Amino acid sequence: MVSAIVRFTLLSSSILLLAGCLTTGAEDDWLARIEKRLLPLSNSKERDAGVKVDTILIHFCSDVVAHPKRPYKYSRIFEGFASGGVSAHYLIDREGFITQMVELDRAAWHAGVGKVPWHPDRENRLNEFSVGIELMGMGNLPEMTRFMPEDRYRLVKPSDIGYTEAQYKSLRKLISALRRKYPSIKLDNRHIYGHDQYARGRKNDPGSLFDWASIGIEKTW
């Protein structure tokens, strides 16, 4: 993680809570305190007028293909987004630190081609209606061999596979704050789901190692 980024931690929010500063009406303020390192505007767009944000899409990201022994260096991952012309609103590192990469009033380039059965009108258009959250993590061997050969995957430390409890804690807090900002986001699998659900057969993140129950959601489809 680059030293220039002052990272927002759960400890910070705990101190605010104890001080009586974090109240129901201050959730937007909580979001505003998250450290920003914004991607170029060309990596996102203004949301269409009148769009109602009601979905959170969860992803994983890493630099494992090029650096299996050190797959989570922040600067490389951020540059991958910037140069690749893609984006998400938030990035959560292995220690649970959150960085905002796209303003919430903009549609990030994170969902791409896909669909859900209850919104046929949103086919290939989920970016407009969603908040994208990236977790530094990766899937199991079958999920990752579509990106890299098995011998490279075997170089990854077991502790770098899957997700950390610190990430789940931060993700729960972030989801809670986003749901207060956007009341149409319900805590269920029709409003919060994975890229692998939206883009079946094309994407496999966050994958089978992601613990949906840890964020209070039953995976139903």
Catalytic site positions: 134
Task: Give yes or no for a contact between 91 and 68, defined as CB atoms under 8 angstroms apart.
Answer: no
For residues 83 and 72, give the distance between their C-alpha atoms in angstroms, rounded to a whole number: 17
User: Where do the H-state alpha helices sit in 2-149?
Assistant: 10-18, 27-32, 74-84, 141-144
In eight-state DSSP terms, residue 159 is G
What are the helix (H) ranges across 34-110? 74-84
Q: With beta carbons less than 8 A apart as the criterion, state whether 214 and 169 touch.
A: no
Sign, Cα dihedral of 34, 38, 43, 46: positive
Give one word for 10, left, alpha or beta, with left for phi > 0 and alpha for psi -120 to 50: alpha
Of 192, 200, 182, the C-alpha closest to 218 is 192
Distance, in Å, from the CA atom of 106 to the CA atom of 89, rounded to the nearest integer, reads 9
Which residues face 91 on adjacent strands? 99, 134
